[in-house]
Structure 1
Amino acid sequence: MPAVTVEDITVLPRIPVPDPALARQRAPRSVTTAPRGFEGEGFPVRRAFGGVDLADLDPFIHLDQMGEVDYGPGEPKGTPWHPHRGFETVTYMLDGVLQHNDSLGGGGVISDGDTQWMTAGQGILHIETPPEEMVASGGCFHGLQLWVNLPKAQKWIDPRYQDLAGDQVRLLASDDGGALVRVIAGNLAGLRGPGQTYTPMTMVHATVSPGARMVLPWEQHFNALVYVLAGRGTVGAERRPLQMGQLAVLGDGDAITVAADATQDGRTQNMEVLLLGGRPIREPVAWAGPFVMNTEAEVRQAFEDFQAGRLGQIPAVHNAPTDLLVTETDSPLD
């Protein structure tokens, strides 16, 4: 799991430990294990938010951990063309390569440590596929995709996307140097990540060394979610056990503690965690397939607009599938 690393973590700015006399540790309210499934044309995923109430996730909607899978030649898979409206997709690649194209003519390639932040807004068509060379050679594929809701007032904005290169990510170290902290978006200890968000939020990927304990300040008006991408350890002052594929929803407070077990599971050297927090939107959510709106009528309108071609047309893309895939009964596509 390479993402972005540094040779010498001691040169990075340190995150000060919140004052124990003033900071209130966030305690785990629930721990859930992500169900497994398949997405797009058949790549394996863990549905990280499976079984969690949307009210606890707000402003987040959906999170897939894609892989980790080691493909043989000819095996890598992606998604067909499909629409989105009403939210943002955030695709973060830890290992492997993914290519994106959309109905506005945009696109790009993201690989180890890169992030693609797509704002669907009023509507867009897009496709995500492994490049031809990866299909031919095979290789490791591991990433995640997060869906971030948009407030009602911003669901009809023009689509846009941000390609955030891995070297743009803000790199920090925990107070004792035992954890490498990558700030992708939002503010952590007064330092900001490169992602520009409509919904106030923080997105962090941390690598915690075996036996290390990471204590981070956290915006008290945000919710707090900790998902384990690899390895095992504990969360909270209570040291609640947490391992790969599990999500902890934390309660109120302004500090988060994550500790890695001294001995990991053999598949990874470190504990890899994704930390998410955002200001809850607290608006009604109507969600069907690739559309996240405020009312069922708006979702029906999204399907009608898609079927009428008002969400865009598929541009000419070399060697890309041309079939559109979406039905009203579909689970989230990506």
Structure 2
Amino acid sequence: MPAITAENPLALPRVAASPDRAAARPVLAVTTAPSGLEGEGFPVRRAFAGITYDYLDPFIMMDQMGEVDYEAGEPKGTPWHPHRGFETVTYIIDGTFVHQDSHGGGGIITDGDTQWMTAGSGLLHIESPPEELVMSGGLFHGLQLWVNLPARDKMIVPKYQDIRGGTVKLLASQDGGGLLRLIAGDLGGHAGPGATHTPITMIHASVSPGAEVTLPWRADFNALAYGLAGSGSAGAERRPFRMGQSVVFGDGESLTIRADAAQDSRSANFEVVLLGGLPIREPMAHYGPFVMNSHAELAQAFDDFQAGRLGTIPAGAA
């Protein structure tokens, strides 16, 4: 882990917080993600469990899928299911997922790829491991992030963005101790390939043992960090956090994470996802696979799903 990297981070563009505007964001909370099963039974950690929506907005939830090393016959996915009113961002670090929808879309995401699905007015969707992975087993690790849509965009036509790992913007921290994969948004004047309806920033950072990374952060964004592997600390106060824990930052114009000098044997670096977004600040009604602005809109989504207005499973589909 991970699939997309750089042989020499020192050759990449550097990003650092400007000293004259770098009011540091304090750490407000560190939470631990509970574990569970999703879909047909693959293991997940609910990254944002216990964090109030005031601190998450515009993000809704995030699952860390795996990391799991499957035996032959064990890989699992999800059955056909509906979505409406938000976007799903599926980032595959190791392994492969095949996806298909009721609008004729689909594809394969693997080893550093991101599938950005804008559910909008609604569709049916399935994600599954390819047959060869089911037969052989193997490593699987990824994330799925849900991003809310503002009311004006909740009923737009569904669409996909297939963001290949090779198109992710690779950057380095000021001293080269952190490799930054900018998947979406802007960081220090550099833009990631993901196009978003709500302004957000999504970064996968690999921080070398003992290194510190301080990044500029939009003052009007929220700020979250999640540990994918390894251990370290966050903020000027050096609040410890590790794999399976989330950090909620307060207001400010920069954020800092550090890697412990000694990491576990499975991961050479402290692997962290950094997220920020412009809060939508609209009422949110969330139930299962639907995220709307009111209970009446949720009821309509269920009615539309049951009536087949979100699409039908294609003939011959699994």
Tell me, in whole angstroms, the C-alpha distance in 2 between the residues paired with 1:30 and 1:237.
Answer: 14
| Secondary structure of residue in 2 paired with 1:273 | strand
Tell me, in whole angstroms, the C-alpha distance in 1 between the residues paired with 2:107 and 2:12.
Answer: 30
For 1:221-260, what per-residue CA distance to the aligned partner results, in whole angstroms no more than 9, with x for missing partners?
0000010001000000111101110001100001010000
Equivalent pair of 2:21/2:253 in contact (CA under 8 Å): no
AA partner of residue 17 (structure 1): A
AA partner of residue 162 (structure 1): Q
AA partner of residue 205 (structure 1): H
* Paired position in structure 2 for 1:14: 14
* Paired position in structure 1 for 2:45: 46
Equivalent pair of 1:18/1:215 in contact (CA under 8 Å): no
| Secondary structure of residue in 2 paired with 1:247 | strand
* Paired position in structure 1 for 2:24: 25
Residues 138 and 238 of structure 1: CA distance in aligned 2, closer, same or farther (over 3 Å) = same
AA partner of residue 304 (structure 1): D
Q: Which consecutive aligned stretches of 4+ in structure 1 deviate over 3 angstroms post-superposition?
A: none
**Cα deviation, residue 88, structure 1:** 0.1
* Paired position in structure 2 for 1:165: 164
For 1:6-30, what per-residue CA distance to the aligned partner results, in whole angstroms no more than 9, with x for missing partners?
11112111113321x4310001101
AA partner of residue 60 (structure 2): I
Residues 317 and 257 of structure 1: CA distance in aligned 2, closer, same or farther (over 3 Å) = farther
**Cα deviation, residue 3, structure 1:** 2.8
Unaligned runs of 5+ in 2: none
Equivalent pair of 1:99/1:109 in contact (CA under 8 Å): yes
AA partner of residue 315 (structure 2): A
Answer yes or no: is 1:2 the counterpart of 2:24. Answer: no
Please, what TM-score do these two structures have when normalized by structure 2? 0.99
* Paired position in structure 1 for 2:176: 177
Root-mean-square deviation (CA), in Å? 0.8
AA partner of residue 295 (structure 2): E
**Cα deviation, residue 179, structure 1:** 0.7
Tell me, in whole angstroms, the C-alpha distance in 1 between the residues paired with 2:228 and 2:149.
Answer: 25
* Paired position in structure 2 for 1:142: 141
**Cα deviation, residue 48, structure 1:** 0.2
The 5-angstrom pairing of residues 313-328 of structure 1 reads 313-317=312-316, 320=318
Tell me, in whole angstroms, the C-alpha distance in 1 between the residues paired with 2:98 and 2:18.
Answer: 40
Tell me, in whole angstroms, the C-alpha distance in 2 between the residues paired with 1:281 and 1:221.
Answer: 11
AA partner of residue 219 (structure 1): R
Tell me, in whole angstroms, the C-alpha distance in 2 between the residues paired with 1:197 and 1:16.
Answer: 24
* Paired position in structure 1 for 2:101: 102
Residues 138 and 27 of structure 1: CA distance in aligned 2, closer, same or farther (over 3 Å) = same
The 5-angstrom pairing of residues 1-334 of structure 1 reads 1-19=1-19, 21-317=20-316, 320=318
Please, what TM-score do these two structures have when normalized by structure 1? 0.94
Tell me, in whole angstroms, the C-alpha distance in 2 between the residues paired with 1:77 and 1:41.
Answer: 6
Tell me, in whole angstroms, the C-alpha distance in 1 between the residues paired with 2:54 and 2:196.
Answer: 20
Equivalent pair of 2:40/2:77 in contact (CA under 8 Å): yes
Equivalent pair of 1:3/1:93 in contact (CA under 8 Å): no
Equivalent pair of 1:41/1:79 in contact (CA under 8 Å): yes
Same amino acid, percent of matched pairs: 66
Structure 1 window deviating more from structure 2 (265-274 vs 185-194): it is: 265-274
Residues 113 and 317 of structure 1: CA distance in aligned 2, closer, same or farther (over 3 Å) = farther
For 1:238-296, what per-residue CA distance to the aligned partner results, in whole angstroms no more than 9, with x for missing partners?
11101110001100001010000000122211100000000000011101100000001
Tell me, in whole angstroms, the C-alpha distance in 1 between the residues paired with 2:249 and 2:200.
Answer: 15
Tell me, in whole angstroms, the C-alpha distance in 2 between the residues paired with 1:53 and 1:88.
Answer: 19
**Cα deviation, residue 317, structure 1:** 4.7
**Cα deviation, residue 310, structure 1:** 0.1
Tell me, in whole angstroms, the C-alpha distance in 2 between the residues paired with 1:117 and 1:218.
Answer: 23
Equivalent pair of 1:150/1:199 in contact (CA under 8 Å): yes
Tell me, in whole angstroms, the C-alpha distance in 2 between the residues paired with 1:203 and 1:127.
Answer: 24
Tell me, in whole angstroms, the C-alpha distance in 1 between the residues paired with 2:36 and 2:178.
Answer: 31
| Secondary structure of residue in 1 paired with 2:15 | coil
AA partner of residue 36 (structure 2): G
* Paired position in structure 2 for 1:331: none
Residues 315 and 214 of structure 1: CA distance in aligned 2, closer, same or farther (over 3 Å) = same
